[in-house]
Chain A
């Protein structure tokens, strides 16, 4: 096109001699492109121009040296490798077709949920790979001797020693699978792992078993943090409170993946709602700014009121979970054993179902701005979910490890040896049950609630059915569910090492179930859901879940006595004690001294001080940058004003447009037939000028060159009153 352009401009010239200025400008641009290092494909020109530039840079006739050819081959090879790695990192192309379909029909907001599922599946598979390669494979290969229980338990139990591995009440195979009894002596649970005493040279299964959950959690932490930082919205307007800028929304809110007309209509509704909500927020913000002190205090009180109420509800809910877990553990011999097995997961699910409905109802009673409503409800749902899981693990700890209690049964061995011979397996079973129950609930909801609902709504018509309507596919709710499931998996890594495999299978099946629900039984939610900022939010929730899972694990690994009867750490006061033992056995004395130093206070205090120093430097640097940016903005505005003054002076100096070559900003489009309402022509000096003062002048006579006989200065900087 460059060539066409130059040819055409050549044709347009009436005069025979070429214009020196045109050639000069073109040559300068060509020179700049020729010598710049930018890749050809990054130039914003058409293909034919890019080819031209490439030819300029590397003329075909010239023989390229071996070195250049080799370098170019290396570059293309590197690029292809990067492309392949990129595709691989996106998940081996798993489910690409399905994701494409969902994105086209429903937009990228809902597609982000399914992409998140794929990410979690990858995390679980990586965890499993790590565990299998460091623990399972050596175990199977080395076949350590199976040491039986090392001591006889002699203790006085209140109700007589009850064997936990006794005959279960139900011989039903399915029930055994669902409760985990069927796998009690397999590698699924902690109890089946055995190893001989530590020696100086053999592979230490114990160390591998101890460190692999910690390593997996660390890797997951880094992966999530990395994705979170990438999706972080950056502060646009320094010096002001961060509000999501409207301009970014306007420029980047259209979802180019949409392919159906219905999806486009829905998206337009969403965007329109978003703009209206944005305007509403701005109006409210203004009103709030104008409030007096007392009004602000009143507002704060009403804000507090609803939050305190919801807080009380949450406390009540987790109290119920605590009670349910205790009851279920205390009454293991009841006739209703069947139901009681699943009581804690049932109560958790009920609480997490009713809670959000109540929260939304209560929050809507107050008159909040719409964004605040959504965010507040979401935050409380997250708090409820994580608190219920935390309370579940705490109450488990209470019954099994007597945390915070003074039961005599825990005094001798550090755990409740009367009720649990192998308490890690018991805890693993509980977490297994929770995970399985969540999955079964998902399946049940999909097939016994959404499907009948859709069938009924389609079959009948009436006000009730029209109000009921199909189920909305709410992405936040679904993401919270899956994050809770992943938190349970992480909690159970130590007690149930193959739980990631199970959870991976569940995620795989959940993908197809949710896809079916979405395509057949749901309707799109009218509530807007922005993929990028919410991806950040859900990575944040995932991170919180990870931290929640790490805390009990850290406590158990470092301070709780393992079972005497089963597992790998039978003779240690805490699993972590393996590490000092191995360090003493295997490392040479200097290495031991270094490790001791690194773990001592003498190292950690200076390290902390160094870290805070680095942090201070970073913060002050960013503040200095912010000041510099403000200064540059001011400078930019002054410079533009200065330029417009120059242009005004120039306009006075240039000759007036006469009969011959009119020099002024004659409209290049003056011969076009459409009416112009303003002076066009970048980089014609007449632009960007003010639009409003001269609509009349140009509209009347579009053929007349704009800006011609205007006695006042043609070029005016738009004053602030016009803006």
Chain B
């Protein structure tokens, strides 16, 4: 793997350093790990830049294998039409967003896309935006702007549409309950019951007295249960859009830049080997729980 034939050229390295948050060593390591996933006869530099690796193989990486969001991550970063394979550049994008020097903005943007990503696989190819839809948007471009959508979000909304968001570029209750289910796992004792889920997500308070408080636009309610939507949904439309998501996340110190004192959320380091030696067998440890 160290032969001169399998190293990236200096210009390409410099370009990747410009376009991602990775350092030179990390890019070379990523290239090495990517080449390990390719079949042995296709491991030259030119082929590694063109061949796409299937999603299953990428998701078998030890860094992603145990992650409940791995399919979503794979689909968000994939640029193929069927979104089932990643090229080397997609892989670099993935590592760049999850590196420790990535800005909190880009992390929260991708976090939003990953959490809003649907679990199901589309039946066929990428859905096509119909001409009538375009005509609607084209005739009334002001409509889109008047909905307060920032151009950045509109374009990413277009992209998100083509990326098969299952809904409208916002996180609604179903997305949140999917998210919580992923986090808590499907085991009998860890799964939250339906009522607990409802309590966690909904912003319905169980106090009758708070109904009058809602007229005060939900601020300073002493009796309500501050749940997810209550805390994050600023404009009270029942969903969390990108700006609200970024607002919530930016308050958490976990998303701040890594300074060595505590690692941030949405970060993982890439290991040097495909199979880390200590993860192979656990030296006689018992299974917990």
By a beta-carbon cutoff of 8 Å, the part of chain A in contact with chain B is 1, 4-5, 8-9, 12-15, 19-22, 24-25, 28-29, 32, 40-42, 44-48, 50-51, 54, 76, 83, 86, 89-91, 100-101, 103-105, 108, 111-112, 115, 119, 227, 230-237, 239-240, 243, 245-248, 250-266, 268-269, 271-272, 275-276, 278-279, 282, 285-286, 289, 458, 519-520, 523-524, 531-532, 535, 539, 630, 633-634, 636-637, 639-640, 643, 646-647, 650, 654, 661-666, 668-674, 678-685, 687-688, 690-691, 717-718, 720, 722-723
A-B contact pairs, 10 of them (CB 8 A): A44-B106, A233-B253, A245-B248, A252-B249, A268-B190, A276-B192, A637-B235, A668-B128, A688-B237, A723-B202
Q: Does B204 touch A at the CB level, under 8 Å?
A: yes
B: interface residue count bin: 35 or more
CB-contact partner of B219 in A14, A532, A630, under 8 A: A630
Q: A22-B134, A668-B127, A717-B237 are in contact. Are A119 and B260 (CB under 8 A)?
A: yes
Asked if B191 and A272 make an inter-chain contact with CB atoms under 8 angstroms apart, the answer reads: yes
Cβ contacts B128-153/A at 8 Å (1 or 0 each)? 11111111111111011011110110
The closest CB in chain A to the CB of B112 belongs to: A251
Asked if B133 and A665 make an inter-chain contact with CB atoms under 8 angstroms apart, the answer reads: yes
CB-contact partner of A230 in B128, B170, B187, B253, under 8 A: B253
Contacts of B204 in A (CB 8 A): 723
Q: Does B3 touch A at the CB level, under 8 Å?
A: no
Q: Does B105 touch A at the CB level, under 8 Å?
A: yes
Asked if B140 and A650 make an inter-chain contact with CB atoms under 8 angstroms apart, the answer reads: yes
CB-contact partner of A668 in B130, B172, B248, under 8 A: B130
Asked if A661 and B131 make an inter-chain contact with CB atoms under 8 angstroms apart, the answer reads: yes
Contacts of B239 in A (CB 8 A): 688
Asked if A286 and B206 make an inter-chain contact with CB atoms under 8 angstroms apart, the answer reads: yes
Asked if A12 and B101 make an inter-chain contact with CB atoms under 8 angstroms apart, the answer reads: no
Q: A25-B141, A42-B106, A47-B89 are in contact. Are A682 and B157 (CB under 8 A)?
A: yes
The closest CB in chain A to the CB of B92 belongs to: A47
Q: Does B63 touch A at the CB level, under 8 Å?
A: yes
By a beta-carbon cutoff of 8 Å, the part of chain B in contact with chain A is 14-15, 17-21, 23, 62-63, 65-69, 77, 79, 89-90, 92-93, 96, 98, 101, 103, 105-106, 109-111, 115, 120, 122-124, 126-141, 143-144, 146-149, 151-152, 154-162, 164-170, 172-174, 176, 179-180, 183-185, 187, 189-192, 196, 199-200, 202-204, 206-207, 214, 217, 219-223, 225-229, 231-232, 234-239, 241, 245, 248-249, 251-256, 259-263, 265-269, 271, 276, 278-279, 282-284, 286-289
Contacts of A15 in B (CB 8 A): 131
Q: A40-B18, A44-B110, A257-B269 are in contact. Are A684 and B262 (CB under 8 A)?
A: no
Asked if A661 and B261 make an inter-chain contact with CB atoms under 8 angstroms apart, the answer reads: no
- In the assembled complex, the Cα of A127 lies from the Cα of B14 at a distance in Å of 40
- In the assembled complex, the Cα of A470 lies from the Cα of B256 at a distance in Å of 36
Q: A54-B19, A115-B260 are in contact. Are A634 and B79 (CB under 8 A)?
A: no
- In the assembled complex, the Cα of A157 lies from the Cα of B238 at a distance in Å of 84
Q: A239-B219, A682-B168 are in contact. Are A723 and B67 (CB under 8 A)?
A: no
The closest CB in chain A to the CB of B143 belongs to: A685
3 residue pairs, one from A and one from B, having the closest CB atoms: A21-B138, A682-B169, A682-B168
Contacts of A673 in B (CB 8 A): 123-124
Given A663-B135, A683-B137, 15 more contacts at CB 8 Å? A5-B162, A8-B162, A19-B131, A42-B103, A86-B101, A231-B253, A247-B228, A248-B249, A279-B200, A289-B222, A636-B234, A637-B217, A650-B140, A662-B132, A684-B136
